[in-house]
Amino acid sequence: MAERLEPSGFTTLKLTEFDDRLYVRLDRPEVKNAIDQLMVDELHAVCAYLEATQKILVLSGTPADPDTGTKGIFASGADIAQLRMRRRDDALAGINSGIFDRLAKLPMPVIAALDGFALGGGAELAYAADFRIGTPELRMGNPETGLGIMAAAGATWRLKELVGEPVAKEILLAGKVLTGEECLRVGLITELVEGKDLLEAASALADRIGKQDALAVRITKSVFHAPREAHPVIDTLAQGMLFESQAKFDRMQEFLDRKKKQ
């Protein structure tokens, strides 16, 4: 297992690590957590670590502060100042799409805890997660066409898979921004909680995942995202691997022992 990440080595992210999970908070509050090149680079470093250590990832943004009245925010999108200067070759490099795809393919599940703005690239980052939990203050959408570009970091295909074509087109082509309640209604998030309870809800979900067998979770996630034509062969091969794992024998024996005691 790789050595734990050193939080002081990050500028745009705040990290808190435990044995089975890593909390990563986007931390550029002065620009509403706009995703710039440095944040992308630091997210790549996080991914490299999680590819080796295979822990659950909980992504969040700046929390609300009731004392100061500051509202929470996940990410307002890509850094427009940087984005305006990018040209064709930058687009072809897939700067944001590359890191979001890498996050989506992490071995263990990714949970996005969403409060306030999750727009543009911030929304696409959230779409790449396996789970999304939000607050009533959440505002999620893709205003890219209003800026003369398109949502090119996963929204054009992930969003359709998540909420269906009609809603996806309203967001992508008409600039609709969904509230937290609307996100819940269309299935873009699975849980709606108050801002003060957001990380607790994300942690509770991580707890439930953590109670499962880690190898079974990793393989199930991989098989879930396999192309349709790979099934059912890949399912059978993956199950064959799991049938030989010690955890399978131990967990099934524990189940049988509990049944005997009832």
Please report the pLDDT score of residue 80 as a whole number: 66
Please report the pLDDT score of residue 66 as a whole number: 81
Distance in angstroms (rounded) separating the CA atoms of residues 202 and 133? 7
CATH, range 7-210: 3.90.226.10
Which strands, in side-by-side order, build the sheet including 117-119? 117-119, 139-141, 177-179
Please report the pLDDT score of residue 244 as a whole number: 95
Tokens 């309870």 belong to which residue?
A: 197
Please report the pLDDT score of residue 95 as a whole number: 77
The Cα angle at residue 198 between residues 68 and 183, in degrees rounded to 5? 105
Number of Cβ atoms within 10 Å of the Cβ of 122: 28
Nearest Cα residue to 170 out of 147, 190, 140, 191? 140
Write the single-letter amino acid at 160.
K
Each of the 262 residues of the chain gets a pLDDT tens digit; together they read: 567 889 889 999 999 999 999 999 999 999 999 999 999 999 999 999 999 999 999 999 999 888 887 889 999 976 666 767 776 766 666 678 899 999 999 999 999 999 999 999 999 999 999 999 999 999 999 999 998 889 989 999 999 999 999 999 999 999 999 999 999 999 999 999 999 999 999 999 999 999 999 999 999 999 999 999 999 999 999 999 999 999 999 999 999 999 888 7
**Residue 78 tokens, joined:** 């890509």
Please report the pLDDT score of residue 127 as a whole number: 98
Domain boundaries, the chain: 7-210, 214-261
Q: In sequence order, which ranges of 95-232 are alpha helices (DSSP H)?
A: 95-104, 121-127, 155-163, 165-174, 180-186, 198-210, 214-224
**Residue 262 tokens, joined:** 């009832």
Distance in angstroms (rounded) separating the CA atoms of residues 27 and 32? 9
Distance in angstroms (rounded) separating the CA atoms of residues 140 and 115? 9
Helix 165-174 to helix 155-163 angle (10° resolution) is 140
**Residue 119 tokens, joined:** 């727009």
247's enclosing H/E stretch is helix 246-261
Please report the pLDDT score of residue 94 as a whole number: 67
CA 26 to chain centre: 12
Please report the pLDDT score of residue 147 as a whole number: 86
The Cα angle at residue 111 between residues 139 and 184, in degrees rounded to 5? 40
Please report the pLDDT score of residue 100 as a whole number: 97
Number of Cβ atoms within 10 Å of the Cβ of 31: 13
152's enclosing H/E stretch is none
Write the single-letter amino acid at 1.
M
Q: Using DSSP bridges, classify how beta strands 131-134 and 191-192 pair: parallel, antiparallel or unpaired.
A: parallel
